[in-house]
Amino acid sequence: MMNTPKHLLRHLVLSAIACLVAVGISTFSQPAYSQQFVTLTTQKLNVASEAIHEAESVLMAQGMESQPMTRYVAVLTKDEVIPMASSSNAFGAAGAVLVGDRLVVRGDFSNLSSSLRDYATDPVSPPNPNITSAVHIHQGEPTANGPFQYALQVTPGMNGMQGRFMGEYTLTSEQLQALSSGKLYVDLHTKQNRAGELRGMFKPY
């Protein structure tokens, strides 16, 4: 199921990107930092690829393998947070697959600065009962915060600083247009960075 030419091509592309990143920074004067950067970039690419495969598997198990699938990836970094998170070594990635108006999302995060924000004890104002976790999908421009759309289901790791998230949604026509034009994003909120520690726009894969 995963060994189609299209999937093999994606794996080759991901490997090529990782190699190019490694070559591009090999002349830096700080080899320890360079190696850390390569490792981090490769890990993000691997997480994104695995998330895409998981989302595809969900749809295939539901009998949708014969329908056209559109794939998206969101790489979550502190640099995309508006305003940028003050200090964090966290990273994450999300993969999403769209069939018709049905969107399946899978993703991971790790190295958070603190545990996830608890919206039961630290809600937004005014409170929104639909915000049931600290990982969300929003609609908005890359340079601005936009309105909340969905809360993703989160499974934290043992220490609370890493974990996984997932969600399955039926998008409205407005949300479909936003997704196709690069205006849907994932963000993650922690106790230390309540307004957001990680953020990433969904982009075609």
Tens digits of per-residue pLDDT, 2-53? 445 455 445 444 444 344 334 343 333 344 434 544 455 566 667 777 888 8
With residue 142 as reference, give the H or E element that holds it.
Answer: none
Return the bridge partners of 146, or none.
none
Q: What is the pLDDT of residues 128-186, one digit of tens each?
A: 999 999 999 999 999 999 999 999 999 999 999 999 999 999 999 999 999 999 999 99
| pTM of the entire predicted model | 0.79
Burial of residue 188 (CB within 10 Å: 0-12, 13-18, 19+) is buried
Return the bridge partners of 94, or none.
74, 107
Based on the structure, what is the number of domains in the chain?
A: 1
Q: Which domain holds residue 155?
A: 5-204
The pLDDT assigned to 64 comes to: 83
Helical residues (DSSP H) of the chain, grouped into ranges? 5-24, 31-61, 173-180
